[in-house]
Copies of this chain bind each other. A is one copy, B any other.
Amino acid sequence: MGDILHRVGIEGSSPEKVYAALTTLDGLAGWWAEKTTGDTALGGVIEFRFGPGGFDMKVLELQPGRLVRWEVVEGPPEWLGTTIRWDLRQDGDWTIVQFAHEGWREPVEFMAHCSTKWAIFLMSLKQLVETGIGAPDPRDVRISDWH
């Protein structure tokens, strides 16, 4: 079992603003996938659709301004059953976002791709909150032949 870990800091913001970007359809569509639909409430399922495919996430846990957790209930076989965790906190002028995509069964090449791509999307989240303009799919930064 392996995890993808990331950490970014968002300047001049607050955990509440970042939490909104993770728990509303408009927020999610602003940094991850423009085609985001579904129910962002606790127990709801959010559908994210990308050029190459998509993921459905069940909302497992919500602590306003502190924590968001999802479980992958539809998507590539390597993602099924994995969980995604967002921890938020304020450190001075920075909102610290700790991210974990937990429970990968094997350290496959696709996991390495997803790790890099998550970093790119976390930078998109940072840009969205800092400037109002993120880079979600299909305007995301391309990293390879796998997109």
Contacts and interface: CB of A to CB of B under 8 A. Distances in A.
A75 interface: no
A96 B126 contact: no
B115 A5 contact: yes
A145 B92 contact: yes
Looking at chain A's contact residues, the main secondary structure is: mixed
A8 B144 contact: yes
A55 interface: no
Contacts of A112: 5-7, 98-100
Nearest to A122: B116
A120 interface: yes
Given A2-B3, A112-B99, A119-B120, A143 B107 contact: no
A120 B120 CA distance: 8
Contacts of A109: 7, 98
Nearest to A111: B5
Given A2-B5, A126-B143, 16 more contacts: A2-B3, A5-B111, A7-B113, A7-B143, A8-B116, A9-B144, A9-B145, A9-B146, A93-B145, A94-B145, A96-B144, A96-B145, A99-B112, A116-B119, A123-B141, A123-B143
